[in-house]
Structure 1
Amino acid sequence: MMGGLLGWSELMLALLFIFSLQTGSGSVNAGAAPDCSYIQTVSPNGASGVYSIQPGGFNSSFEAYCEMGENGIWTVIQRRTGGAVAFDREWKAYKNGFGFASWDHWLGLEKISALTKDKSKRWKLRVDLWDFEGGSAYAEYEDFRVGNESTNYRLSVGRYSGTAGDAITGPYPAFDQNGYGFSTLDHDNDGCDPCLFGDIYVVSCTGFERGGWWYSKCGCANLNGNWQPEGDNIGWSSGLHWHTWKGPAPYSARATRMMITPMLP
């Protein structure tokens, strides 16, 4: 559809990524920590950046962006700042991850599952949202976990707090995405069989909203749809949506970030 344009954009991102490595703002070689919360034990003066991560039981290390903030050290699992990296991808891409850890990316369901499978830890998910008007909001969920592939990477979240509203659970029971498996264009695990929105008949949420996500029917949250530019970001069915934050018309965010950290005992 837009393969030529996206291919050129991703090439430019690759060149920017290589430049960041050459200028010292890219990957940090500090050994493979189990997750970002361990980084300062192997690199006491470590700043936010890309580090090598290897959760227990995972067969190889991988790069992840570690956000060092006043409220903890977080492992970033998703970031969107524009439309250069396509998110309307199939199961294999969402399983393994795509994009650049230092830029727009999806870390990968297999990696997120490996990070959160340790039952001795409780994990917190933080979602950050930025609009085109200079505003921002956040949502946090306690007890975040993602199952393994045999569960279709089923989502589990606990108590919500924040300023963006609880879009994952949603304002109505039918919109609750908690407990659902992940869906992509070629792997449908949503609750639509079918869904009817006014006069719109939807068989697959991913076909309707494009990006892979933990859909129910289809729900109020999806941060992996098509990025929309300012002035063209309201009313689209596909976008970076968190419907409890903006409305009533669908509002596609300017930027998003999802990240996780172990909860304190």
Structure 2
Amino acid sequence: MSIQGSDCSEIKRLLPESRSGVYMIHPAASRIPFKVYCEMRPDGGWTVIQKRTGDKVSFRRNWASYEYGFGHLTWDHWLGLKKIHWLTQSKRTTLRVDLWNNGKKTAYAQYQDFSLGIPESGYELHVGRYSGTAGDAIRGTNSDTSQNGFAFSTSDRPNLDCKDCFDYLGNAIKSCSGFSGGGWWFSDCGSANLNGYHNMADISRLHWITWEGVSWIEATRMMIKSE
């Protein structure tokens, strides 16, 4: 497969009739090209960085898996922190989060100026202005739950102590990532986590707390678009 652009947004601009699917890209910040899934929409080409539709692909992974990626590009997957970092270094990038609950209700959150910091920072999360229908869960309901500016954590490499998390039996948990099973930008467990258990003891561990009236998230998709 030949290289077709620096990201999905460029491919869509160069080839407006492009359809959704797997493409080979080569971001300026990366020394090597790699494959991604492009969601081609009327508003541009979006590079999918996360997708979950069930529990067939486990998101209970270690740091190395989250850094380099796992899963299947045409199905459920995590693109990889390193690749996401490369994609957000040389262009202004928008993040879109799509959510579906078990009643097929949908909502989305969109953030301007999305980027991940350097590996030495733990791939710190940075987002700008919010818009959408799901609420601004990345910043949370108050400054204590905001995940903006926080490093990524996994069970084998926690970057923050979890101060106020409890399991479904009420037992205190010391590690947010250990509790959720998946890596995320934790902040006192925070108000968003789309990489945790899909279901544990009948309690959903995929959550976006600002999506009012929804207690069960069934499917998620995270994707980015450059300007």
Do the aligned partners of 1:97 and 1:109 also contact (CA within 8 Å) in 2? yes
Output one character per residue of 1:91-134: Cα deviation in whole Å (capped at 9) or x when no partner.
0000000001111000000000000011xx32110000011112
Shift of 1:252: 3.5
Indicate whether 1:112 and 2:84 are aligned: yes
2:93 aligns with one of 115, 119, 123: 123
Q: Distance in 2 between matches of 1:117 and 1:104?
A: 25
Give the equivalent residue in structure 1 for 2:219: 255
Output one character per residue of 1:54-87: Cα deviation in whole Å (capped at 9) or x when no partner.
1113121111111111222111000001110000
1:155 aligns with one of 99, 105, 125: 125
Indicate whether 1:61 and 2:33 are aligned: yes
Do the aligned partners of 2:12 and 2:45 also contact (CA within 8 Å) in 1? no
Q: TM-score, normalised by structure 2?
A: 0.92
- Runs of 4+ residues deviating >3 angstroms: 40-44, 196-200
2:11 aligns with one of 12, 24, 39: 39
Give the equivalent residue in structure 2 for 1:78: 50
Q: Secondary structure at the match of 1:173?
A: coil
Give the equivalent residue in structure 2 for 1:168: 138
Shift of 1:202: 2.4
Give the equivalent residue in structure 1 for 2:173: 202
Shift of 1:33: 1.4
Do the aligned partners of 1:31 and 1:42 also contact (CA within 8 Å) in 2? no
Shift of 1:43: 4.2
Point out the structure with the larger helix share.
Answer: 1
2:62 aligns with one of 90, 114, 118: 90
Q: Distance in 1 between matches of 2:141 and 2:68?
A: 32
Q: Secondary structure at the match of 1:165?
A: coil
Do the aligned partners of 1:220 and 1:241 also contact (CA within 8 Å) in 2? yes
Q: Which runs of 5 or more structure 1 residues have no equivalent in the other structure?
A: 1-28
Q: Distance in 2 between matches of 1:98 and 1:180?
A: 22
Output one character per residue of 1:149-200: Cα deviation in whole Å (capped at 9) or x when no partner.
11100000011111001110000111000000000010101253x3355954
CA gap 1:141/1:44 in 2 versus in 1, 3 angstroms: closer
Q: Which amino acid aligns with 1:171?
A: T
Give the equivalent residue in structure 1 for 2:24: 52
Q: Secondary structure at the match of 1:174?
A: coil
The 5 Å alignment of 1:178-193 reads 178-192=148-162
Give the equivalent residue in structure 1 for 2:185: 214
Do the aligned partners of 1:30 and 1:42 also contact (CA within 8 Å) in 2? no
Q: Distance in 2 between matches of 1:107 and 1:196?
A: 27
Q: Which runs of 5 or more structure 2 residues have no equivalent in the other structure?
A: none
Q: Secondary structure at the match of 2:177?
A: helix
Q: Distance in 2 between matches of 1:259 and 1:191?
A: 28
Q: Which amino acid aligns with 2:152?
A: F
Q: Distance in 2 between matches of 1:33 and 1:80?
A: 26
Q: Distance in 2 between matches of 1:147 and 1:243?
A: 25
Moved more, 63-72 or 155-164: 63-72
**Number of positions where the alignment pairs a residue of Structure 1 with one of Structure 2:** 225
What RMSD in Å do the two structures reach over aligned CA positions?
Answer: 2.0
